[in-house]
Structure formats: C-alpha cells, structure tokens
Structure 1
Amino acid sequence: MRHLRALCAIADTGSLHQAARRLGVSQPSLTTQLRRIENTLGAELFRRERTGCRPTLLGRAVLSRARPLVDGMTALVSDAKAEAEAVRASGPRLRIGCTASRVIGGWLRRLRLRLPGTDISLRVDVSARALLRDVGAGGLDVAFVHEVEGCPLTVPEGLEQRVLLDREPQFISMARDHPAAARPVVDLADLAADRWMVDPTVDGEWDGLRRVFDEAGLAPTVLHGDYLTAASLIVLGEAVAPCQPTSGPRDDMAIRPLRDDPLAVRLLLVSRPGLDTATVYGELEAAYREAARRAAGYHQWLLRNRSPLARTP
C-alpha cells in the first residue's frame, strides 16, 4: 500500500517534490522508491519532464487499479480506528509513536508495570516527521523520535517537548574481522574504502551522512537499503553502516565509536498538550539507562563525557 500511495501522490501532484511533501518523506527517498517500483515492473510509470511527472500508458493503467485499493484501505483504516476508539473509551489509554530504537521493549515493559489497566498501543515508523504530525493531529499521545544532526525536525505548534539526550553519537557496525575492528575507536578515514549502507527512507539519515562525508572530504560508495538487509551484508564484510550506540554485542559483528563523534542525533519526547508525561518520560529515561549499561562501549562513552545517563539513579 505504501508503494500505491506513492504512485497516486505523484500522479495527483504531478511532481516528485510535491508528492514527497504530501507523503512526509524526502524527495531522494521517494525517487528511489519509484525507481524500485519501475524496476520491479520492468517499465517506466512516469515520464520525467521539465514541467513535472506525467503517467505513461502503463502508469495510467496501474493508477486505475491502484486508486480504488488506496481509497478502500484508507476507509478500512479509518473505520477500524473508529471502532478501536469506541472499545477503548471505557478506560485510560496511551498511544505511543516511536522511530526505531533499542529501548522500546524496556520502555513498554516499564510502562505496563507502572500504568496497570492502561491500554498502551505502539506505532513504530521510519519517519519522525510523520509521527510528529500524528501527535499534532491527535492520532498519538506521545512520540519518541530522533533528530539527525544538521537536519532539524519541525515540531507542530502547541506540542510539548522534552530532550532525553541532546547529542547521541552514532557508532559504526562492521564485520568482526574488519581491520578497523581491532581498535577501540575508529577514524572515519579508515572506512573511506568501504561501502556504506544507509536507509534513505529514514528522515534525515542520508542527508546527515552526506554532510559528514562532505566535511571530511570523503566520497565512499553508498548503498541504499533497509538496515535488516544491511546487517546481512555487514557480517559478510560487504558494507559498514551507522548504528545506535545502544546496539547490543554480536559474535559476528563489531560496533565501534567514531573518533570525535561526527555522526549524532538528538533524542526527543514530544507529547500532546496537557498530557502528564512525568511517568512516561521517567520510564523512558530508565529504559535508556538500562540499554546503555548493556552496551559496554556506549556506557564507557557516557562516562567519559560525564553524561548523567551514565549514573545509576
């Protein structure tokens, strides 16, 4: 359905740029997505012209089948949400959104213990912008998101923010037998000859990495794909990739910090107005501490940088 919605948005707006804005994604990621769809079908669906994108004959045929499916799915989701809202109306609820994070499991476990009887739901999305829009529109109560350094997020007016960590360094995952894995800290230049894997659908991910490469004067080969695929390539020595510092140890993979921490994100908890976030934030912070302690390399980084998150409360 995500692919079909993308095709309909491109056709409706006649522009990859406008379609990307409507969908809440970056234009490069939408272009990559369209290219994948066309490669799968073996033919172009849109002609790229100076005035915009025009459906080809095949594109019009695909769109004629796609629109009823997209409309039907939209109606189904809307009806299902309405019924779910009615079911949950009799008790307290907490609707959480989150970008991918190693702390989600511990956070949910803690919340369920602290808030018995509360209906807690979770939505994980690659797009922090989409989650923030949903909090602003009332579809979510709170969202835990990461903001890539140099690629600021726009938080809808009226929402409340709490910063969990102003600057979380991004570590690098590589094969266990990679030459750089022998050192506790890796220089970016040591990875210049490697292929880097990045997921362009994650808001700010590719732009942030490209900025770091430009500042270092490097131009390594970049592969676009999801991080599940990246893991399988990394263990074979076919790629390296940024990763969260809370990533746990693996026998077939090494995770190392970069010297001077050129890659970083800011961790934010954003909530709707009037929501009492004391418990939600407190349990998030505790879950993050737990995850950091389990990742020995990151815990040492927090201690070196005198972060309060390194201390046991």
Structure 2
Amino acid sequence: MRHLRALCAIADTGSLHKAARFLGMSQPSLTTQLRRIEHALGAELFTRGRTGCRPTPLGRVVLSRARPLVAQMGLLVSEARAAAARADGARLRVGSTASRALAGWLRRLRQRLPGTDITLHMDVSANGLLRALAAGQLDVAFVHEVEGCPLQVPDGLERRVLVEREPQFISMARDHPAAAAPVVDITDLAEDRWMVDPTVDGEWDGLRRVLGAAGIDPPLMHADYHTAASLIVAGEAVAPCQPTSGPRDDMAIRPLRDDPLAVRLLLYHRPGDEGAALYGTAYAALAAAYREAALRTSAYRHWLQRHGTPLPCPG
C-alpha cells in the first residue's frame, strides 16, 4: 500500500517534490522508492521533465488499479479511527495552511471543546490538506485559495467562506525607497527581485499573472518564506505576505495599490462524519481568532477601515 500511495501522490501532484511533501518524506527517498517500483515492474511508470511527472501508458494502467485499492484502504483506516474515537472520546483533527490566526484558533478550540483531543497538521499545500480531509485523515481544513487559481477540491467536501477576498501585502527592507509611502505601486517594485514559494498551491501562477497584468517582468527567486526573511531584510528581495503579518523593526509591510494580489480563506469539512458536529464550533472559533489577528495589526486594521470591509462574524 505504501508503494501504491506513493504512485497516486506523484500522479495527483504532478511533481516528485510536491508528492514527497504530501507524503511526509524527502524527495530523494521518494525518487529511490519510485525507481525500485519501476525496476520491479520492468518499465517506467512516469516521464520526468521540466513540467513535472506524467504517467506513461503503463503508469496509467497501474494507477487505474491502484487508486481504488488506496481509496478502500483509506476508508478502512478512517472507519477504524472513527470507531476508536467513539470509544476513547471526542476528537478533532485540524489541518491548516500557514496563518497568523492559527494560535488563537487552537486556543479557542481547546477552551470551547474541553476534553476533546485536538491535533494539528500543517501543510503549505492546500490541495494536499483537502486530499487528506477527503481520505478521512482530517476533520476540518483551513486553506487559502489564490485568486485566479482554483483549488482541486475532492468530491463530497463542503466549505464555509471565512474571508471572500483577503488582500496580500508586500514585505520589503525597512530602508526600501517604496517603504516611505503608506501604499506601494507594484510598478515601483519592477526592478526588485521577487521571492515566491513554488510549493504553495497557486502562488507562482497567481504572482506571475499579476506581474504580467502590470506589464512588468522582474527577476524571480524560488525559496520558502522562512528562508527568505533574511534576504528581504537585507534588501535582496521583496515578497507577498499575509496582511495579518506583524510589524518588524527590520522589515516594512505595505499594502499594494488596488490590491492586485488576493486569496480566499475557506474552511472545509466532510458532512456526515464524526467531526461534522464540531464544524460550527470550529468555524466560530476561527472567525474570532481571525478578527483578533486582523485588528492586532495596524496596517491591516487601517486597510479594513479605508475599504469598509467587514471581518468574519464568529456567530
């Protein structure tokens, strides 16, 4: 089953790197595993190229048999875990992409659901979290959908919209010339190196679309945002960031004029399962935590006041 799950993950993500992240393993380990599978079968199952991994004709045949087996095993595991949860007490398995509201959300969940076993699984891939939710590995998933890049939502999931359109701000060095203004024109950053994390679903495509619409083609750098912070502070790059990002002495965070970059914030669940009864509580706690994070950040608070944008209501 481990081999079959790996093949399905590679096919679903179209990338060894993304599949390895979804499976919680290193890319070299997954590459070695794939080579062993192909060696055992005597033929390649995927073609590798600059655009990613694509199943060969034999790969499609193998996947057509593997997917039902993986799905049935996932269902078996889900039902067994649900039975165990009923025996051991209430449980809520939370999945989330990165958010400043996360700590406040968990704190409120523990306050509102005493005695409930609450666990957290974080992933940069919203699509990976939704697949885990559909497979019964999570009860709720809080995800970001980049504007213009719809998520790949498995059948059977339901959602509530937390924020219809959250603007993405820009982070830059404190002494960057554009930081002198309260609002930054994207064209003022045409000569800067832009940093983007290609493992975040939709991030690269969304940024490329916005830069193209602005008529600029700045140099780009692929890196994760934690690694890039030191480069931004040193003036080597600028990067999009969440508007709830807290102020830093060595970094400036500003809104972009006309808010060309945006995401939609969504909370998903599976109706009818054991965690569905807790879904309303999870949403209310998340809405309260997001309001707290938004109002704590002066730049975002002022943006909300200027635009008259309502925050999500915990009720």
1:220-235 equivalences under 5 Å are 220-235=218-233
Spell out, residue by residue over 1:142-181, the C-alpha distance to the aligned partner (whole angstroms, 9 max, x if none): 0000000010012222211100011000000000000001
Give the equivalent residue in structure 2 for 1:151: 149
How far did 1:52 drift? 2.9
Match of 1:298 in 2: 300
What is the one-letter code of the residue matched to 2:234?
L
CA–CA distance in structure 2, aligned partners of residues 85 and 130 of structure 1: 25
SS of the aligned residue for 1:152 comes to coil
Letter of the 1:137 counterpart:
A
Aligned residues: 265
Query: Contact between 2:163 and 2:266, CA under 8 Å: does it hold in 1?
Result: yes
Aligned position for 2:206: 208
Show the counterpart of 1:281.
Answer: 283
Task: Identify the match of residue 234 of structure 2 among 233, 236, 242.
Answer: 236
Counterparts of 2:181 and 2:111 in 1: how far apart (Å)?
41
The whole-number CA distance in structure 2 between the counterparts of 1:184 and 1:95 is 40
SS in 1 for 2:104: helix
* 2:246 maps to amino acid: G
Q: Is the 8 A contact 2:287 2:312 kept in 1?
A: no
- Per the alignment, residue 47 of structure 2 pairs with 52
SS where residue 309 of structure 1 aligns? coil
Counterpart residue type for residue 295 of structure 1 = T
Change beyond 3 A, Cα 1:212–1:28: farther
Q: Contact 2:17–2:27 (CA<8 Å) still a contact in 1? A: no
How far off its partner does 1:26 sit? 6.0
Q: Tell me the equivalent position of 2:66.
A: none
* Change in 2 beyond 3 A, CA 1:158/1:310: closer
Cα 1:110/1:312, change in 2 over 3 Å: closer
Q: Which moved more, 1:294-303 or 1:254-263?
A: 294-303
- Quick check: 1:266 aligned with 2:292? no
Answer whether contact 1:106 1:287 (CA < 8 A) is retained. Answer: yes
Q: Cα 1:87–1:163, aligned 2, differ >3 Å: closer, same or farther?
A: closer
Task: Render the CA deviation track for 1:185-235: whole Å, top value 9, x for unaligned.
Answer: 000001110011110001000010000011111110100011011101001
Written as runs of structure 1 = structure 2, the 5 A alignment for 1:113-192 is 113-192=111-190
Normalising by structure 1, we get a TM-score of 0.75
Gap regions ≥5 residues in structure 1: 13-17, 31-35, 39-44, 46-50, 55-77
Letter in 1 for 2:141: A
C-alpha contact 2:288 2:313 (8 A) present in aligned 1: no
Give, as a single letter, the amino acid of the residue that structure 2 aligns with 1:96.
V
State the Cα RMSD in Å.
Answer: 3.4
Q: Do 2:284 and 2:314's aligned partners in 1 also have CA atoms closer than 8 Å?
A: no
Query: CA separation in 2, counterparts of 1:273 and 1:136?
Result: 10
One-letter code of the match for 2:47?
A: G
Check conservation: 1:25, 1:201, Cα contact below 8 A: no
Deviation at residue 311 of structure 1 after TM alignment: 8.7
Give, as a single letter, the amino acid of the residue that structure 2 aligns with 1:266: R
What's 2:69 paired with? Answer: none
Cα distance, 1:278 vs structure 2: 1.8
Tell me which of 103, 106, 111 is aligned to 1:105: 103
Question: Per-residue displacement from partner, 1:64-111 (whole Å, max 9, x unpaired)?
Answer: xxxxxxxxxxxxxx99xx799847841100010000111100000011
Q: Give distance in 2, aligned partners of 1:220 and 1:27.
A: 28
The change in CA–CA distance for 1:311 and 1:115 in structure 2 (over 3 A counts) is: closer
Query: Any conservation in 2 of the 1:168–1:264 contact (CA below 8 Å)?
Result: yes
Is 2:88 aligned against 1:90?
yes
User: What amino acid is aligned across from residue 112 of structure 1 in structure 2?
Assistant: R
Tell me how far apart the structure 1 counterparts of residues 91 and 18 of structure 2 sit (CA, whole Å): 34
AA at the equivalent of 2:298: A
Alignment CA distance shift 1:234-1:291 (3 Å): same
Hey, what's the Cα distance between the residues in 2 that align with 1:120 and 1:114?
11
Q: Which runs of 5+ in 2 are unaligned?
A: 20-25, 29-34, 36-45, 50-75
Comparing 156-165 with 249-258, which one deviates more in the overlay?
156-165
